[in-house]
Structure 1
Amino acid sequence: MVRTNVEIEALLQEYADLIAITGGDAFKARAYEKAAHAIGGYPADVSHLDAAGLREIPGVGRSIAEKVIEYFRTGNVTVVEETRAQIPEGVRQLITIPTLGPKKAMALYEDLHISSVGALADAIKAEKLRDLKGFGEKTEENILHGIALMQQAGERILLSTAMEPAEDIVTELSRITGCENCAYAGSLRRMKETIGDIDILVAAERSASFMDALAELSSTAEVIAHGRKKTSIRTTKGLQVDLRVVRPDSWGAGLQYFTGSKAHNIRTRTIAVHLGLKLSEYGLFETDGGKRVASQSEGEVYDRLGLPWIPPTLREDRGEIEAGLRGELPDVVTAQDIRGDLHTHTDLTDGLAPLEEMVAAAAERGYAYYAITDHAPNLYMQRMTDEKILAQRAHVRSLDGRRRRMRLLHGTELNIGPDGEVDWPGEFLQGFDICVASVHSHFHLSREAMTRRIVRACENPHINVIGHPTTRLIGKRQGIDADLDEVFAACARTGTALEINAQPDRLDLGDEDILRARSHGAKFAIDTDAHSIPQLAYLRYGIGMAQRGWLTPEEVINTWPLRRLRRFLRKDRAD
């Protein structure tokens, strides 16, 4: 996603929150929120647009376009600055707590003079919130849970937030004369769902020019340390970047070492010791005499240890060493294996782009098939009707006739109700090529009721995929309380795939749940849940999760040829 667009999205979303905090017009706040999402999902850099061009973006009117132009011109928006000044800093801190909305944050400040997260936690422990209008014991529990989520997230950032600056830095450093190799390493290379800091590795004979270049990047706000072997900076977005330079003949050993994980590296060093060797970031050496026996490539290092090259996404000491020694390491799914995306949205519901544009963008990605799955009517805010979805189906069929190289599937994302019911009856659902079913509400049912709810959805002969199965939002909302092993077993038994939702704030299922579900024999779909054209590129994050869950192409239904996929989607129903 274009960085400028992300900045404008954040600015407009903040203004929407500020309007809500100050008791402004709810419709105005919603308008700015919609415009924020529209600009964030716009495929081109909005900084190249004038006011007229901005107004062509759905949801961006004259007033909003003028504010965006003002931001490009001055770096600020006057009305946003003025509104910020009306709200105490403490209130702005409170609304960063997941589960606490702007109106409640303002009420806490006005009625109890609470202006910090610590003071709020103390007030809850003293049961001071219960007498406030709109608060109660359950509200206190939810807020405490939100505080815990925020503290748990700490300084870690989403995988996607780290990826763009990391790739930009690699591109910049790779241009410098003398660079023989450059890559990001660490938890980012292992595709963990959140990242502490960004590790960059360069192979070059001399380090000074690379260390200086990092310190002088326009995105560098602070130089934390500047040395010959390592330089650390903090970016203008608050991300720490650590750069290390190794000699070209140590590249493989250095990349293996700085990729980690720590637990994986302990295991590889232990193997080295048993072989009479010593492994470090400089190479693999004989203990007696110090002769270097491997270092130039990761494959060379692993081979000398008696192991195949292990994909970075597997390097977590979760059995990959043992599997490698037995010759049983999986050939994990890659981007080249994916034949299509099975969960996407258009502007018929909450997507940002029309059907034709989403289809064209998917075709450019080289897919063999592509599914449109707009929301069903029980998600009331989307205002779906039978007539609208049938009209879309006719449109999809007409486009499918023109695109023989990429077949189109018409589907829907259903809502799993509290009892496992979905939006449409079976005879209506039979007309769809694919049905994704997801939990969008009633997150706090009992464990037994939640489990029964999802299992019942799996048993529906028309439901093919359980979307974002745990409903988690990383750092904002924990997953639902359900017996996931029972759910995974039901998916395997009924031929219902589990989604690996590639939205960066979901990545749902996560890697540990994928490993559990895999043990039950379940199948999976790696989907983007794209609501705009740029979000189709989120597929890479879903693939990262799938790899961390040890999935092979055979276990992922959207790697299969269309004919085989269609057989799976029928769930053994009569033709």
Structure 2
Amino acid sequence: MVRPNEEVEALLHEYADLIAITGGEAFKARAYEKAARAIGGYPADVSHLDVAGLKEIPGVGKSIAEKVVEYFRTGHVTVVEERRAEIPAGVRQLITIPTLGPRKAMALYEDLHISSVGELADAIKAEKLRDLKGFGEKTEENILHGIALMQQAGGRILLSTAMEAAEDIVAELSRITGCEHCAYAGSLRRMKETIGDIDILVAARRAAPFMDALTDLPSTAEVIAHGEKKTSIRTVKGVQVDLRVVRPDAWGAGMQYFTGSKAHNIRTRTIAVHLGLKLSEYGLFETEGGKRVASRSEDEVYARLGLPWIPPALREDRGEIEAGLRGELPEVVTERDIRGDLHTHTDLTDGLTPLEDMVAAAAQRGYAYYAVTDHAPNLYMQRMTDEKILAQREQVRSLDGEHHGMRLLHGTELNIGPEGEVDWPDEFLQGFDLCVAAVHSHFNLGRKAMTRRFVRACENPHVNIIGHPTTRLLGKRPGIDADLDEVFAACARTGTALEVDAQPDRLDLGDEDILRARSHGAKFAIDTDAHSIPQLACLRYGIGTAQRGWLTPDDVINTWPLRRLRRFLRKDRAG
């Protein structure tokens, strides 16, 4: 089930877009966007709050609070419905294209009567946009690129969206009498960054109660197929869920079969054949005679194939079979290994939560240390000043060790400029415990210039971590064009860590880039880039991505004891 906070967040974001499309005041649209983010990141369930309680959330005034209360009371908001009625559905579809804003979408509809993505693509090919005010050849290129991103994403959803839906369904099915095991499998269990559909597996002696229960869930919008061995539904969010029920004594074989990528499963079945065995979702059988030799647990199945248990995130046929046969499979990093988060924000800049509350929430996660890294002044919209950051430093120092002994690090997220320059001079940067540096603009520099930009940032003795290195936003913005191997080598040479940003729409670095960077000897930091308390829990997605990149605790600097971490953060300044 979607959190009530997220429902309201989506509604207010939509209303902000509707205001922009219909020519409303820009400041009003921004106010609704800010309130949407604040409510989405608020830790408590907003459906239980009245107007007064909602107004306690930063950025939520009386008018917005009243609309939220109306939504939970009636299921809709009158002014939103009225704005929707003013705008054709096709225009609302157009604004989902990355790079195409609300005003341009409305102009396309009014001037050229374009109301679908297909019509827009045809109009660009016919060069019909070039005579419109505010449009040109570059705009056409950007829009086509946005359409390509949409099509590339297809029907796939973010890992976090799939995870929330899967965990809700697993919880519901686990309550049914006769359920011995229930879990998600497939690409979701392998923690791929986007998911096509969700595979759920149940171990039980009778399948019918589970098949019926899935079709009757409140989140089920459509029943695609309903059978004894498999039932498929589509949720109200448009996600396909496939449920299979296996006998309890075949649970391990079923999980192995329905988790592995196709390539991984082909390899394991080939090994089975060479051993005179046959592997299926029902078990591992002797080819002659059909005797079942393994099926109850994945460990049992892999062991009979001469392999150790292989972590799900590694099951992509990227060398895990060979490493397992050699006894060299890595002990990949887990969430339990993480000692602290090194990239987080507060309401001093674009975060939603005061420093004290973020620190308290981090301490509840059992961290040994925690870094606050608000934006530096070169992101002008954040309005950071020397005085503000120094006042925050005093506050951080006063809270150091106050929550279960958790140590606090005062840092900042620097902006990497086009020439590789960063905010603040060297003497000012010396006062920080650590500096994350990231690209936030000028994404289209040429390959050589972009590479030089990153290398220069790595060579800065005060830059400790390159944040969300490729700048990608899944389904919205591609990664930058740079010689990443040169960047990764520079990180290894200078003692600069590469971030695995755990925000579900980033997961940056991605797994394939992690594998390349690791081969250069680079180190990594798995951070949440949290802007609110709930986002601290996004760590799990960064961990999954790191596992897919074969990272071990020794590769990840925020698994290290604080003393070792501090030595790394000194870079070559210690010499």
Does the alignment reach a TM-score above 0.5? yes
* Structure 1 residue 136, shift from structure 2 partner: 1.2
| Cα distance in structure 1, aligned partners of 2:402 and 2:26 | 43
Q: Which residue of 1 aligns with 2:510?
A: 510
Matching of residue 156 in structure 1 with residue 117 in structure 2: no
Q: Which residue of 2 aligns with 1:380?
A: 380
Counterpart of 1:381 in structure 2: which amino acid? M
| Cα distance in structure 2, aligned partners of 1:180 and 1:89 | 46
Deviations 1:450-473 (A, max 9, x none): 000010000000000000000000
* Structure 1 residue 399, shift from structure 2 partner: 0.4
Matching of residue 415 in structure 1 with residue 422 in structure 2: no
Q: Which residue of 1 aligns with 2:486?
A: 486
Matching of residue 339 in structure 1 with residue 314 in structure 2: no
**Structure 1 residues 234-243 or 352-361, which shifts more?**
234-243
Q: Secondary structure at the match of 1:427?
A: helix
| Cα distance in structure 2, aligned partners of 1:306 and 1:334 | 25
Q: Which residue of 1 aligns with 2:145?
A: 145
Matching of residue 441 in structure 1 with residue 421 in structure 2: no
Q: Secondary structure at the match of 1:573?
A: helix
Deviations 1:323-354 (A, max 9, x none): 10011100000001000000000000000000
Q: Secondary structure at the match of 2:571?
A: coil
| Cα distance in structure 2, aligned partners of 1:353 and 1:539 | 18
| Cα distance in structure 2, aligned partners of 1:411 and 1:258 | 43
Matching of residue 475 in structure 1 with residue 469 in structure 2: no
Distance 1:8 1:157, change over 3 A: same
Q: Which residue of 1 aligns with 2:80?
A: 80
| Cα distance in structure 2, aligned partners of 1:211 and 1:58 | 44
Q: Secondary structure at the match of 1:264?
A: helix
Matching of residue 66 in structure 1 with residue 49 in structure 2: no
**Structure 1 residues 104-113 or 467-476, which shifts more?**
104-113
Question: 1:2 touches 1:44 (CA, 8 Å); kept in 2?
Answer: no
* Structure 1 residue 405, shift from structure 2 partner: 1.8
5+ unaligned residues in a row in structure 1: which ranges? Answer: none
Q: Which residue of 1 aligns with 2:542?
A: 542
Q: Which residue of 1 aligns with 2:453?
A: 453
Deviations 1:12-35 (A, max 9, x none): 000000000001010000000000
| Cα distance in structure 2, aligned partners of 1:133 and 1:327 | 64
- Runs of 4+ aligned residues of structure 1 deviating over 4 Å after TM superposition are none
Deviations 1:368-426 (A, max 9, x none): 00000000000000000000000000000000053462100000000000000001011
**Structure 1 residues 382-391 or 102-111, which shifts more?**
102-111
Deviations 1:261-296 (A, max 9, x none): 111000000000010000000000000000000000
5+ unaligned residues in a row in structure 2: which ranges? Answer: none
Matching of residue 390 in structure 1 with residue 390 in structure 2: yes
**Structure 1 residues 246-255 or 168-177, which shifts more?**
168-177
Q: Secondary structure at the match of 1:13?
A: helix
* Structure 1 residue 151, shift from structure 2 partner: 0.3
Q: Secondary structure at the match of 1:532?
A: coil
Counterpart of 2:408 in structure 1: which amino acid? L
Q: Secondary structure at the match of 2:73?
A: helix
* Structure 1 residue 109, shift from structure 2 partner: 1.1
Counterpart of 1:43 in structure 2: which amino acid? P
**Structure 1 residues 83-92 or 28-37, which shifts more?**
83-92
Q: Which residue of 2 aligns with 1:187?
A: 187
| Cα distance in structure 2, aligned partners of 1:427 and 1:375 | 18
| Cα distance in structure 2, aligned partners of 1:121 and 1:380 | 35
Q: Which residue of 2 aligns with 1:133?
A: 133
Q: Which residue of 2 aligns with 1:556?
A: 556
* Structure 1 residue 134, shift from structure 2 partner: 1.3
Q: Which residue of 1 aligns with 2:568?
A: 568
* Structure 1 residue 244, shift from structure 2 partner: 0.4
How many aligned positions are there? 575
* Structure 1 residue 489, shift from structure 2 partner: 0.4
Q: Which residue of 2 aligns with 1:303?
A: 303
RMSD: 0.9
Equivalent residues in 2 for 1:18-167, closer than 5 Å: 18-167=18-167
Question: 2:360 touches 2:403 (CA, 8 Å); kept in 1?
Answer: no
Matching of residue 258 in structure 1 with residue 258 in structure 2: yes
* Structure 1 residue 572, shift from structure 2 partner: 2.2
| Cα distance in structure 1, aligned partners of 2:476 and 2:166 | 24
| Cα distance in structure 2, aligned partners of 1:49 and 1:68 | 9
| Cα distance in structure 2, aligned partners of 1:42 and 1:404 | 24
Q: Secondary structure at the match of 2:384?
A: coil
* Structure 1 residue 2, shift from structure 2 partner: 6.3
| Cα distance in structure 1, aligned partners of 2:526 and 2:427 | 27
Q: Which residue of 2 aligns with 1:362?
A: 362
| Cα distance in structure 2, aligned partners of 1:213 and 1:574 | 62
Q: Which residue of 1 aligns with 2:530?
A: 530
| Cα distance in structure 2, aligned partners of 1:534 and 1:460 | 33
| Cα distance in structure 2, aligned partners of 1:416 and 1:154 | 32
Counterpart of 2:46 in structure 1: which amino acid? V
Q: Which residue of 1 aligns with 2:313?
A: 313
Counterpart of 1:69 in structure 2: which amino acid? V
**Structure 1 residues 510-519 or 104-113, which shifts more?**
104-113
* Structure 1 residue 227, shift from structure 2 partner: 1.1
Q: Which residue of 2 aligns with 1:269?
A: 269
Q: Secondary structure at the match of 1:572?
A: helix
Counterpart of 1:554 in structure 2: which amino acid? D
Matching of residue 214 in structure 1 with residue 214 in structure 2: yes
Question: 1:313 touches 1:544 (CA, 8 Å); kept in 2?
Answer: yes
**Structure 1 residues 394-403 or 493-502, which shifts more?**
394-403
Counterpart of 1:13 in structure 2: which amino acid? H
| Cα distance in structure 2, aligned partners of 1:142 and 1:224 | 37
Question: 2:363 touches 2:404 (CA, 8 Å); kept in 1?
Answer: no
**Structure 1 residues 513-522 or 128-137, which shifts more?**
128-137
Deviations 1:162-202 (A, max 9, x none): 11111111111111111111100000000000001111000
Deviations 1:479-518 (A, max 9, x none): 0011100000000000000000000000000000000000
Q: Which residue of 1 aligns with 2:198?
A: 198
Deviations 1:525-546 (A, max 9, x none): 0000000000000000000000
Matching of residue 7 in structure 1 with residue 7 in structure 2: yes
Counterpart of 1:209 in structure 2: which amino acid? P
| Cα distance in structure 1, aligned partners of 2:404 and 2:176 | 45
Question: 2:250 touches 2:281 (CA, 8 Å); kept in 1?
Answer: yes
Q: Secondary structure at the match of 2:388?
A: helix
| Cα distance in structure 2, aligned partners of 1:43 and 1:424 | 34
| Cα distance in structure 2, aligned partners of 1:517 and 1:455 | 14
Question: 2:267 touches 2:317 (CA, 8 Å); kept in 1?
Answer: yes
* Structure 1 residue 565, shift from structure 2 partner: 0.1
Question: 1:2 touches 1:45 (CA, 8 Å); kept in 2?
Answer: no
Distance 1:212 1:87, change over 3 A: same
Q: Which residue of 2 aligns with 1:329?
A: 329
| Cα distance in structure 1, aligned partners of 2:249 and 2:177 | 17
Deviations 1:62-107 (A, max 9, x none): 1101111111111111100110111111111110100100011111
| Cα distance in structure 2, aligned partners of 1:166 and 1:312 | 16
Determine what percentage of the aligned residue pairs are the same residue.
88
Matching of residue 170 in structure 1 with residue 170 in structure 2: yes
Counterpart of 2:388 in structure 1: which amino acid? K
| Cα distance in structure 2, aligned partners of 1:129 and 1:566 | 55
Deviations 1:300-331 (A, max 9, x none): 00000000000000000001001100111000
Counterpart of 1:512 in structure 2: which amino acid? E
Counterpart of 1:300 in structure 2: which amino acid? E
